[in-house]
Structure formats: C-alpha cells, structure tokens
Structure 1
Amino acid sequence: MSTDTIPIRFTDFPPTFRGPTLRPGDHDYPEARQIWNMRRDDELPALIVQPLDVDDVVTAMKYAASHNIPVAVCGGGHGIDGNAMPEGALVVDTAKLQDVTIDPSTNRVTIQSGVKLGRMDAATQEYGLIVPAGVVSDTGAAGLTLGGGIGHNARRFGATVDNLISIELVTADGSAITASADSNAELFWGMKGAGHNLGIATSLTYQGHEVGPKVVSGLIIFSADDAPRIFDGIDSVMADAPRSLSCNFLVLLAPPLPGLPDFIVGTPILVALVVYTGSVESYPAAISGLIGLASPMADMVAPSTWLEANSIVDAFEPPGRRQYMVGGYLSGLNGDIARKAVAAITNSPRPKSPLPSCLITFPVLGGALLDADEDSAAFSRIGAQWLLEVASEWDDGSDDSEYSPWVDVTIAEFSTDLATNAYTNLTADRGPEWLRGAYGSQDKWDRIVELKRVWDPNNRFAYNKNVTRAVESA
C-alpha cells in the first residue's frame, strides 16, 4: 500500500492504547521524531505511538492490520537509512520499553526493545558482563540485533545474534509470540538478520560474557603514507593476534587531537581504534604486531573501563546530523585498498564544523564471527574478515549535493573488492538486486522470502530494506 493513501491523522486510533500518542504540533512530538540520521528531516510521521507494554504493541498492530496500513518501527532510531520516521506514517516507537534484567546465575541478559547500547552496557557492567553488540552507545540494541550485530567483541564472541537466546515479538497480525530455538524456530532463524521485515521485538534475551570493567582502549594515529604498508601486513598480524584484540581503522582528515601537531590537522591520517579486552598486562604483546608495521605519530591507548571503550566512536557519529553510509564485507586488506581510501579522503568535501564529515572505516571481523555456521542465522558472515564503510555526515540540507555523491563515487572505487553478501545494518539500501544477494545464498534468500510470506503477507513491515519489494522487482 502506497504511503500517500495512509490516513493523515489516524483519528480512530484505539483509546485503549495506554502509552503516549504524538501528532505534529504536540509538545513532545519534535523530540520523539528526532533520530540519529536526520537526512530526511522534512518528513513528518502522522502519528507516533509509544507503547508502555506488549499489550500496547498488540493494540497498535491490530489497528494497522484492520486498516491495512504499513507500520514504521523505531527501536532506537539509529538505522542507517533513517526509515524510523517516514512521512505520513504510523510509527511504533519502543522508547518507553526500558527494562533490563540480568540473571547472575546464568549470565543471561534480558532487555526490552527500547533499550540503547549505552544503557545495556551500564547495566551489564554492574555484573562484570557484556552482551556482544555495536560500538555507538546511542544505537538501539533491538534494531542492531535484528540485523545481525557486530562490534568490538565480534572476534571474541561472534555476532550479537550468535549470543541471542530468544525474542518476544509481536507479529504483523498483532499476535504476541516467542521465537527461539525451541519455539517458532524457523522464525527465530529469520529474526536473526532479517528481523526488521518480520515483526516488532518487545524483549530479547542474550547470553552475557565476562568482560571488564578494566580493558585497554584508545586511538593510535599513523601517517597516511604508512597506510599501504600497514594494510599489506595487517591480515597476518590479526590472524596471529588474540581474539580479545579489536582494531578498527579509520581514514579521515585529521581533526584536532591531543598529541597531533597543528600542521597535521586537516590532512589525511590513518587511525587505529584499539579495544583490548584481555588483561592490561598482556596488552603490549597483543598490540606488538600492529606497532611493528609502522611507527605511530601518536599513541593514545591506555587502560580504561569497558564503558569508556565502547563509547569512543560516539564522537565520530553524533546523533542528529545528516548521514549517508554505504559499505560491505572485505575478505582482506591490502596496500591498494589503502591507497584508494587515502586518495578518496584527500579529495573529499571539507568539514564545515569541528566534527568529521567524511570517513572511510575498516572494522576488523573474522575470529569467532566466522566460527558460527553460515546457515545458523539469516545474517550472513561468510568470508567477512573486515567491514568497509564509506560515510559522510553533515548538518545543512543545502550541502546534500556535495556530501552524498562523494560516498557513491568512493564506494564505486571499491566495487571489485566487496563481497556480494553484506551486513545490512551498516550500509544504506543498495537496491533489490543487492538485497537478494546480501544474505549469502539463494537458499537463505528463499527461506527469508517464505518467512515474509507466512508472517507478513501484506508487507505491514514495509519501511526497511524490504524483502517484498525485492521479490516484486525481480
């Protein structure tokens, strides 16, 4: 159903819904409508509803089903495409669902679907635990999980979905059900990677792991001239490094940073964002391989807490800016990839604020992420040794034509390097053909298509990288 046929005001939305219901002009509407990517800031949802419990979610979905309208879901609002708040839409915003429960006897962690990573990390660290998840504290944990989930602990503990035990969700027809290995097992498989197409998660239970509070983290700054040498050697270094070491590379124009001389600011640099969750004493041995590839310009890595480590990226990706990111998997790094990245950043649009505007990032993967069977979840990870993310962020809509094309031109330079499968959370929608290949195999795609047919035959969950539209365009 086209969004231009959706009722503008939803004036008959059920009064039995207990949570806030917000329309344009309401006092709390602007805050609720604010999401991480404000590139579509001219779009105004007709009605944002914020459930207080599962019954409210059921009420909202039964209303949508009875009126044959699609529903947008906001589970934290950190989606790359900015799909959480579309023009004229009915939005189910889980922001009020904030409970976190931890069972110290099993280290299991249960969160409601409005919880963001910063809140989840703070709660789990009270017990010395983490849930392997993302790297930006403003990210909604549920939305991250439904797309797979990758972060600093991927090499050590795998993807977020590899640590997912069960999901409580509401389906397109308004049914509240459980999905796990023992209940609705095929749906559970699909929710682990294609979940945005299949239901609204209301709570999720994970296996926690003992990490922190003491870790080692920070930034190591290298000259861009050393990037090819580092990228030529880093695959063998990481193959020998402990899985407790995460090293994500960023190529960007140097912002003002402690230890950097003024003449470096505004020129291309290579930054290694290091997070080490082994013992503080063993860190020098763990990082020796990387340091042996080139001499740093500055080394800001030091003992820290896990909460500090897992919020370093926040400064590079603050909420409320206009964002455009495209990316994919790499099977390895090499000097040619480094040279292309440095050249692209050298020719990138200059920032118009103190914040970075153009970044090319290479988060390390491999390790435990590849231990899990490719067919264990809809999420695909085969061959994923690194991620590539080409990103622009800016503040003024008048600059869209300057920053967006740079991303498209740059990602095209890496077209022969990228795998056909992908991590759908960390790239803008690249179209139906791309989506049909993103899950790794035709068999997996066929299973996802069948799940969509069974659980959402009318495409109620349409504001996403959409399976139904990809099928119809084939």
Structure 2
Amino acid sequence: MEWIRPDDTGYDEARKLFNAMIDRRPAVIAQCGNPNDVGEALRYAHEHRLDVAVRSGGHSVAGMSMNDGGLVIDVRPMKTVTVDAAAQTATVGGGVTWGEFDRAAQPYGLAVTGGRVSTTGVAGFTLGGGSGWMERSWGLACDNLVSVDLVTAAGELVTASEQENPDLFWALHGAGGNFGVAVSLTFRMYQVGEQSLAGLMLWPADAAPDVARAYRDFAPDAPAGVGTALASVIAPPEEFVPADLQNKPALGVVFVHAGEPGTGEAALETVRSWGPAADVVAPRPYAEFQSMLDDQPDQFNYWSAEYHDEFPDPALDVFLRSGAKLPHPSSQLLLIPWGGAVAEVYGTSTPMARRDATWVSHPFALWQDPAQTEAAIAWAKGFRRDISDFATGGVYLNFIGHEGQDRIKAAFGEENYNRLARIKHQYDPLNVFRGNQNIEPAA
C-alpha cells in the first residue's frame, strides 16, 4: 500500500477528480492494492479520528470520493479483470473502470450494462444502480451482480450474494457505498459478438419538435437489444457533421443494438426515416462504442435528474426549450427510456423505488470557465423546476449530487429506506461510510 500526503510528489494528481469543480485536500490518501490494505487504512482512520471517503473512478459529481482533511481509500490499484467465457461471468477488482472492463470482455464477445462514460468506476456505478445503454434489455448493472466482496467498517472481508449475507446483497443493489469498500464484483455477462450496430444521429433545431415526438413514441417499445437516448446538444465541429450544423443547437439520438445479429436493422431504419443530417451509426466493437461519447476531462460538472411516468407534448416542449439554451457546448440534456428489464424488478425486490418509471430526464451541465458556474447550475435547476409538473418525485441517485436527505429517501421510498437503515446499523453503526448518498444507521 502507498500512503500519499500533501507534501508528497503525486498528491495533486492522486486527489484529482473527474469534476473540476471539486478541489479537496485530504490529510492522506491510502492507495490500496488488496483487502488487507483497506482494513489497515480503516484502522488508521479510526485511530486518528479521520473522516473516510472511498475513491474508485472518481465520477461522483458532488466529489463524494474525496474529502478535506480526512483519509481517502483509493482502490484504483485493484485492476484485475477475469472473464469466464464458459460460465458467461466476469469478476473485476474494485478499481476497474468501465472502459477497462469492456475492453477486457470484448475479445470474448461479452458485456454487461455499463457506464455511458468509460472512465466511470465499475464499483460506484454498479452499487448505485448502474444505468447504461443496454439496461432495457439486460437490466441495470446491479441486477447482474452475482456477488460482491467488500471490507466493512470493522475491517472484515465479507461476501454478499443471494446465498451469503442476502440482506447486504439486497442493499448493494442501488444503495451505493454505505456498507463497505467493494474490492471485487462478479457479474453475469451477455453476448455482444465482435460487432454491435451503434453510434449517433443528429438533426438541426428546426427538425427537433417532430423528431422528438417520433422518438418519444418509438423508444418505449423498441425491440430487445436496442438501447437509445434523446439528447439536446451543440453539434460538434467534426467532419461527420455538415458545416451549416456545426457549433449550433441540435437534437441527437444515440442508438446501439447489441442483440441477435440482424435484428437491429429494422429499428435503425425507423430512426433513419426521420432524416438525420448526420449519421455515424455503424457496426463497431461494443467496447469502442462505450467510449465514443466520453467527455473531455478537466471540465466543471453539475447534474440532476427526474423520473417520469409519461412524457406528453408539453413536457417535450419544456425539454426542447431547455435544450436550446445549453450553457456550454459540452452540456447536454438527455431523455432516457426505462421500462423493459429495468421495470421487471420493482417494489421491494431491490432498494431502488419507482423502477417502473417510463423515462428519466437528465440535465447534464458541463462548462470550463469558473465565471460560468452560476449560470450553468441555474440552467440545470431551471429545467428541474420547469419539468416538475411531469415528474414523479423519484430519482436515480447516480445522476445527482448533494440534493438533500429528502431526495435520498425519495430514491428508495420509506419502506426500503428503513430496511436500508437497519442494514446500515448492522454493518456500519458509526456511519464511517458517510461520504456518499448517505443512509443514516437506524437508532
């Protein structure tokens, strides 16, 4: 294990997060290569009365994987990926990112629902639920967990699965890092073959109302194996974009088909019939597609989200108005269809409430100039305010930052939250792991 302190070379690089808004200075960063290292770091934090944060990919938009003056358990050295092609499973270390996982599984023609940004950590993404392009066909990432090995607040290495510690295993399906440090995760995998049909299509702003309505009617019933999203963007100055559309507001559809070969073409032709001005959907390795839409590093980030049972024309009007006022060319406004395999698991089967939502809207503010911070955050909050009449009140916590305890409870519902609080009391009664969307231990 390597201990990194403020005077050490590499300290600034070790504390750097995806969100450039976050500039925190922990007293010590413990880079852990195995479960014993994690236990030692936890003991050190207890002895020195240091707050604890856990860092893997570092993609928490609120910077929950870093703290000021405390100890950060950095699991990035845990980079193993083992694929069992015969069993169609894979086991990854707690520090693996989705890009690393996807590339390791691609030679076997296998994948599982992963992050839409390839630098996201597998562990935090999955334990928070795991919403990705293939969720309607394969379920959320957490739905495909076979087991999780984690180190508890007491420094004990435990395995959670349907057979071992089943209550803890249930809690790890969406309640995040409240219960320990994940050092290993095993997943069920799915066939994607050598190539998937995937990419992006763009339309100019004047076509957006018609395309948005066509998409709204198409996406909830898209065939198995098809993943999509509607995105208000600023068209990039890239060769595949017509010159008269570059750097202007545009509407995009992300399309991926990772099902049976030959079954995605009809769905793709439906979307193409809407006449995109730019179209880069083509056969490519699934792992390549998974990194196509990665954001540039060193940008400021502020995100939020809402669930919707319906998205009628007035809601689409709100979406399009907000999407026409993106605060920066890197910002996006996403509308993501749920249903399918996501909705097949609901109620108290996992901690996440309202999984039967039909849509998730996701204002994704990114910018580069600190002077734009106030306007960018106001844009994201303004969308939430304007869309509130069409929202259910549910929320996917991986899509938001610090929005208060009421939003955390809304993500789980009262019954699930109370059960989580009891499990939290069992595994972390002193709330050591509170640097997250925190569940407070039951009294």
TM over 0.5: yes
Change (3 A) 1:331 1:258: farther
Change (3 A) 1:438 1:341: same
Task: Name the amino acid aligned to 1:447.
Answer: R
Which of 110, 133, 142 aligns to 1:152? It is 133
TM-score, structure 1 normalization: 0.89
**Alpha-carbon displacement from aligned partner over 1:21-73 (angstroms, at most 9, x marks no partner):** 111131121221111112122x2111110111110111111232344433100
Q: How does 1:182-331 map to 2 (within 5 A)?
A: 182-279=163-260, 281-292=262-273, 294-314=274-294, 317-331=295-309
Structure 2 residue 368 is the aligned partner of structure 1 residue 368? no
Question: Do 1:72 and 1:461's aligned partners in 2 also have CA atoms closer than 8 Å?
Answer: yes
Question: Do 2:127 and 2:172's aligned partners in 1 also have CA atoms closer than 8 Å?
Answer: yes
Q: Which moved more, 1:210-219 or 1:327-336?
A: 327-336
Residues of 1 paired with 2:289 and 2:260: CA distance? 14
Residues of 1 paired with 2:262 and 2:59: CA distance? 36
Question: Do 2:176 and 2:437's aligned partners in 1 also have CA atoms closer than 8 Å?
Answer: no
Question: Do 2:310 and 2:359's aligned partners in 1 also have CA atoms closer than 8 Å?
Answer: yes
Task: Name the amino acid aligned to 1:51.
Answer: C
Question: Do 2:299 and 2:366's aligned partners in 1 also have CA atoms closer than 8 Å?
Answer: yes
Indicate the SS of the match to 1:308.
helix
Question: Of Structure 1 and Structure 2, which has the larger fraction of its residues in helix?
Answer: 1
TM-fit CA distance, 1:280? 5.3
Structure 2 residue 373 is the aligned partner of structure 1 residue 393? no
TM-fit CA distance, 1:90? 0.5
Q: Which moved more, 1:412-421 or 1:235-244?
A: 235-244
Q: How does 1:72-151 map to 2 (within 5 A)?
A: 72-151=53-132
Change (3 A) 1:333 1:56: same
Change (3 A) 1:447 1:29: same
**Alpha-carbon displacement from aligned partner over 1:230-272 (angstroms, at most 9, x marks no partner):** 3334344234421211111110222223343333233321100
Structure 2 residue 410 is the aligned partner of structure 1 residue 430? no
2:414 corresponds to: 442
Q: Which moved more, 1:447-456 or 1:59-68?
A: 59-68
1:6 corresponds to: none
TM-fit CA distance, 1:121? 0.6
TM-fit CA distance, 1:82? 1.4
- Please list every run of 5 or more consecutive structure 1 residues that lacks an aligned counterpart in the other structure: 1-18
TM-fit CA distance, 1:288? 3.2
% identical equivalent positions: 33
TM-fit CA distance, 1:279? 4.9
Residues of 1 paired with 2:102 and 2:325: CA distance? 38
- Please list every run of 5 or more consecutive structure 2 residues that lacks an aligned counterpart in the other structure: none
Which of 324, 342, 350 aligns to 2:320? It is 342
Residues of 1 paired with 2:141 and 2:418: CA distance? 23
Question: Do 1:196 and 1:464's aligned partners in 2 also have CA atoms closer than 8 Å?
Answer: yes
Residues of 1 paired with 2:44 and 2:136: CA distance? 43
Task: Name the amino acid aligned to 2:419.
Answer: R
Indicate the SS of the match to 1:59.
helix
CA RMSD of aligned residues (A): 2.0
1:31 corresponds to: 13
Residues of 1 paired with 2:366 and 2:202: CA distance? 22
Task: Name the amino acid aligned to 1:146.
Answer: L
Which of 303, 310, 325 aligns to 1:332? It is 310
Q: Which moved more, 1:170-179 or 1:357-366?
A: 357-366
Which of 391, 402, 411 aligns to 2:375? It is 402
Task: Name the amino acid aligned to 2:278.
Answer: A
Structure 2 residue 9 is the aligned partner of structure 1 residue 22? no
Change (3 A) 1:457 1:64: same
Task: Name the amino acid aligned to 2:276.
Answer: P
Task: Name the amino acid aligned to 2:133.
Answer: H
Residues of 1 paired with 2:219 and 2:336: CA distance? 12
Question: Do 2:306 and 2:384's aligned partners in 1 also have CA atoms closer than 8 Å?
Answer: no
Indicate the SS of the match to 1:264.
coil
Question: Do 1:233 and 1:334's aligned partners in 2 also have CA atoms closer than 8 Å?
Answer: no
Change (3 A) 1:80 1:147: same
Task: Name the amino acid aligned to 1:36.
Answer: F
Indicate the SS of the match to 1:360.
strand
Indicate the SS of the match to 1:405.
helix
Task: Name the amino acid aligned to 1:210.
Answer: Q
TM-fit CA distance, 1:335? 2.8
Q: Which moved more, 1:124-133 or 1:152-161?
A: 124-133
Question: Do 2:27 and 2:71's aligned partners in 1 also have CA atoms closer than 8 Å?
Answer: yes
TM-fit CA distance, 1:381? 4.8
Task: Name the amino acid aligned to 2:4.
Answer: L
1:461 corresponds to: 433
Residues of 1 paired with 2:289 and 2:312: CA distance? 27
Task: Name the amino acid aligned to 1:438.
Answer: A
Indicate the SS of the match to 1:344.
helix
Change (3 A) 1:282 1:184: closer
Q: Which moved more, 1:152-161 or 1:366-375?
A: 366-375
Would you identify which runs of 4 or more consecutive aligned residues in structure 1 move more than 6 Å? none
Question: Do 1:36 and 1:78's aligned partners in 2 also have CA atoms closer than 8 Å?
Answer: yes
**Alpha-carbon displacement from aligned partner over 1:199-233 (angstroms, at most 9, x marks no partner):** 11010111111113211111111233333333334
Residues of 1 paired with 2:92 and 2:437: CA distance? 25
Question: Do 2:78 and 2:93's aligned partners in 1 also have CA atoms closer than 8 Å?
Answer: yes
Count, aligned residues: 443
Question: Do 1:65 and 1:172's aligned partners in 2 also have CA atoms closer than 8 Å?
Answer: no
Change (3 A) 1:434 1:239: closer
Question: Do 1:222 and 1:269's aligned partners in 2 also have CA atoms closer than 8 Å?
Answer: yes
Change (3 A) 1:438 1:64: same
**Alpha-carbon displacement from aligned partner over 1:276-314 (angstroms, at most 9, x marks no partner):** 11355433312233344x322222211111112111221
Change (3 A) 1:386 1:212: farther
